[in-house]
């Protein structure tokens, strides 16, 4: 149900986005008795799971954990069917949440927020929406997700292509039938690695244009049995609590020790066991895998061997084998990705040395060769973490634009607020653990923090809160310092903005879960230390 636009209304809170973050925020604000409104660009709720409908899209965090915990009945009644949920099931879950908590009446679909300007005299946000609506709000909350602003490279001739083009993050709702077609997939990140095995089965010919090979481990997805679902549900609260203290969730133990604390045989056995178990906890095998290059090489070499064993043609295997740090770009989890290159209809095109020169009416040219194509899939990722925030013209005190303030990279306090922008909150913003954690609990943590902060102000009759520049500076330095003690800054990942030409190279998420939660709680307990209130 789409509410009629309300051209000039006042809300306690305007929320942008109706994915996991927006729905959760709206629900909490409702419970507090606040008048809130969420604007959503899509024609349905679901955020990332509304847009990313490419073949094979599923979450690589286990479904029993990639779900809300704010309502015991909700988590008891919903039945996840697979270890890793497919996109359609997560979208169905989010629609269920929207209905169950009657959230739709405060969500306006098909509407973008174009601008939000803070009026210092009135202490309100003036918000303009794409339907021509103008609204005022005491608080402005961006719940726009970390990976929502699609990145399509500016390849010359892109508009001349006679076939169809798609972006994995903007997939047609009616699906795409690739049967009998010559398809090109550009990119080999998580989205490509999930979709390539499925597209390969359908298409007549598939060309994969790879700029950088990626590490991937088997997902080992499977249906969930009633027994394992029951085991979790009978102890959900405790397990969730435990997950709050663990990097990879309640199902997986992370070893804190060094890869060199054990013998080579033991190490191999550990990698083998994690490979078999499947999924991203492979990286939790040892505590120094992302800190020490030599330790990392033990795990990376293990995966390289696996790739060579999975791919029949040694020359193709070599091209598919990354020579980089394992986990430095986000690790992928796949279902038959490397094996797909054994199919006779699949060709790997290495574009590392010779980038795509041009898209022509009939295909794509690289390295002097033209590949004739009927469809091109851009699996080229996102303008991560800041893209969606900066897509809105957000202006704080003195009319300063967020875009201007963040010209050299995002600056936040706790990844929740930014100095000069009073009563403005970001859910899982840059400078928070966000994408390095299970997003759903991190979203809930931020939602609770923001809501508690509003309650705190309300109880004291205060109306304005703003991060102090000093606290922000200290936080930004801390985030950078922690990142630079790891191997993360050393590769061209989207964590660093390296995938978007011209984007400042700054490590955006905060590497500090679960300590971050303690820190954020402590800030709140000290009366929002580092924030000015009034």
Which positions from 57 to 86 touch ligand N01 by CB under 6 A, shown as an x/- string?
--xx--------------------------
Give the residue at shortest CB distance from ligand N01.
189
153 sits near ligand N01 (criterion: CB under 6 A): yes
507 sits near ligand N01 (criterion: CB under 6 A): no
**What residues between 466 and 485 interact with ligand N01 by CB under 6 A?**
none
Q: How far is CA 489 from the centre of its chain?
A: 18
Q: Which of 15, 42, 18 minimizes the C-alpha distance to 104? A: 18
Q: Among the candidate windows 91-99, 224-232, 373-381, 511-519, which touches ligand N01 by CB under 6 A?
A: 373-381
Q: Among the candidate windows 189-197, 269-277, 446-454, 515-523, which touches ligand N01 by CB under 6 A?
A: 189-197
Q: In 380-478, at which residue ranges do the beta strands (DSSP E only) sit?
A: 393-395, 424-426, 465-467
**DSSP H helix total and E strand total for the chain:** 16, 20
Q: Among the candidate windows 31-39, 187-195, 393-401, 513-521, which touches ligand N01 by CB under 6 A?
A: 187-195
DSSP 111-166: --EEEEEEETTTTEEEEEETTS-EEEEEEEEE---SS-SB-----TTGGG-SSEEE
- For the chain, the 3-state helix, strand and coil shares in percent, each to the nearest 5, are 35, 20, 45
Q: How far is the CB of 500 from ligand N01 (least distance, A)?
A: 8
Q: Which of 427, 429, 418, 442 minimizes the C-alpha distance to 514? A: 442
Tell me the CB-side half-sphere exposure of residue 10, using CA atoms within 13 A: 4
Per CB under 6 A, the list member of 69, 111, 190, 221 interacting with ligand N01 is: 190
Sequence-separated (6 or more) residues with CB below 8 Å from residue 148: 17, 19, 47, 48, 51, 169, 382, 387, 388
The residue among 186 and 320 lying less far from ligand N01, judged by its C-beta, is: 186
Tell me the CB-side half-sphere exposure of residue 24, using CA atoms within 13 A: 30
Q: Among the candidate windows 245-253, 265-273, 375-383, 526-534, which touches ligand N01 by CB under 6 A?
A: 375-383
Sequence-separated (6 or more) residues with CB below 8 Å from residue 331: 215, 216, 217, 280, 282, 283
Q: How far is the CB of 48 from ligand N01 (least distance, A)?
A: 8
The residue among 46 and 422 lying less far from ligand N01, judged by its C-beta, is: 46
**What residues between 25 and 64 interact with ligand N01 by CB under 6 A?**
59-60
Sheet holding 369-372, edge to edge: 356-360, 363-366, 369-372
The residue among 448 and 486 lying less far from ligand N01, judged by its C-beta, is: 486
Q: Among the candidate windows 19-27, 363-371, 378-386, 465-473, which touches ligand N01 by CB under 6 A?
A: 378-386
The residue among 254 and 492 lying less far from ligand N01, judged by its C-beta, is: 492
Per CB under 6 A, the list member of 64, 192, 300, 506 interacting with ligand N01 is: 192
Q: How far is the CB of 432 from ligand N01 (least distance, A)?
A: 15
Binding residues (CB under 6 A) for ligand N01: these are 59-60, 147, 153, 168, 186-192, 194, 211-212, 330, 351, 356, 379-382, 435, 492, 494, 499
């Amino acid at each position: 149900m789409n509410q009629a636009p309300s051209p000039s209304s006042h809300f306690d809170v305007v929320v942008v986005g109706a994915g996991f973050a927006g729905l959760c925020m709206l629900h909490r604000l409702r419970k507090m008795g606040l008048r809130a409104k969420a604007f959503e660009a899509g024609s349905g709720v679901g955020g990332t799971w509304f847009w990313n409908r490419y073949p094979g899209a599923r979450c690589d965090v286990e479904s029993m954990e990639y779900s809300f915990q704010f309502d015991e009945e909700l988590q008891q009644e919903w039945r996840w069917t697979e270890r890793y949920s497919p996109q359609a099931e997560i979208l169905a879950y989010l629609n269920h949440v929207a209905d169950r908590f009657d959230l739709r009446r405060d969500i306006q679909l098909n509407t973008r927020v174009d601008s939000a300007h803070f009026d210092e005299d009135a202490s309100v946000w003036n918000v303009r929406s794409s339907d021509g609506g103008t609204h005022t709000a005491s608080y402005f909350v961006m719940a726009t997700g970390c990976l929502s602003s699609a990145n399509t490279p500016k390849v010359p001739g892109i508009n001349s292509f006679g076939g169809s083009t798609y972006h994995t993050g903007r997939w047609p709702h009616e699906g795409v039938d690739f049967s009998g077609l010559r398809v090109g997939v550009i990119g080999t990140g998580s989205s490509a690695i999930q979709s390539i095995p499925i597209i390969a089965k359908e298409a007549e010919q598939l060309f994969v244009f790879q700029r950088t090979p990626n590490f991937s481990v088997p997902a080992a997805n499977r249906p969930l049995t009633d027994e394992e679902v029951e085991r979790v549900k009978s102890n959900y609260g405790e397990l969730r609590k435990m997950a709050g203290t663990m990097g990879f969730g309640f199902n997986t133990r992370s070893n804190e020790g060094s890869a060199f604390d054990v013998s080579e045989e033991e190490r191999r056995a550990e990698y083998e066991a994690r490979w078999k178990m499947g999924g991203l906890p492979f990286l939790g095998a040892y505590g120094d895998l992302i800190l020490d290059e030599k330790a990392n090489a033990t795990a990376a070499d293990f995966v390289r061997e696996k790739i060579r064993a999975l791919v029949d043609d040694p020359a193709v295997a070599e091209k598919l084998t990354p020579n980089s740090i394992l986990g430095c770009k986000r690790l992928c989890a796949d279902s038959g990705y490397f094996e797909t290159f054994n199919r006779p209809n699949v060709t790997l095109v290495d574009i590392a040395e010779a980038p795509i020169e041009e898209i022509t009416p009939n295909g794509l040219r690289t390295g002097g060769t033209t590949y004739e194509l009927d469809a091109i899939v851009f699996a080229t990722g996102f303008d991560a973490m800041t893209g969606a925030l900066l897509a809105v013209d957000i202006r704080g005190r003195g009319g300063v634009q967020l875009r201007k303030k963040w010209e050299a990279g995002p600056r936040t306090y706790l990844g929740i607020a930014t100095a000069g922008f009073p009563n403005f909150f970001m859910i899982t913003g840059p400078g928070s653990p966000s994408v390095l954690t299970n997003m759903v609990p991190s979203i809930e943590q931020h939602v609770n923090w923001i809501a508690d902060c509003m309650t705190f102000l309300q109880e004291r009759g205060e109306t304005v809160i703003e991060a102090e520049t000093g606290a922000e500076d200290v936080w930004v330095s801390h985030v950078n310092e922690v990142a630079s003690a790891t191997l993360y800054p050393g590769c061209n990942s989207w964590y660093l903005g390296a995938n978007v030409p011209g984007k400042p190279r700054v490590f955006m998420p905060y590497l500090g879960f679960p300590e971050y939660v303690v820190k954020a709680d402590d800030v709140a307990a000290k009366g929002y230390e580092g924030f000015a209130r009034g």
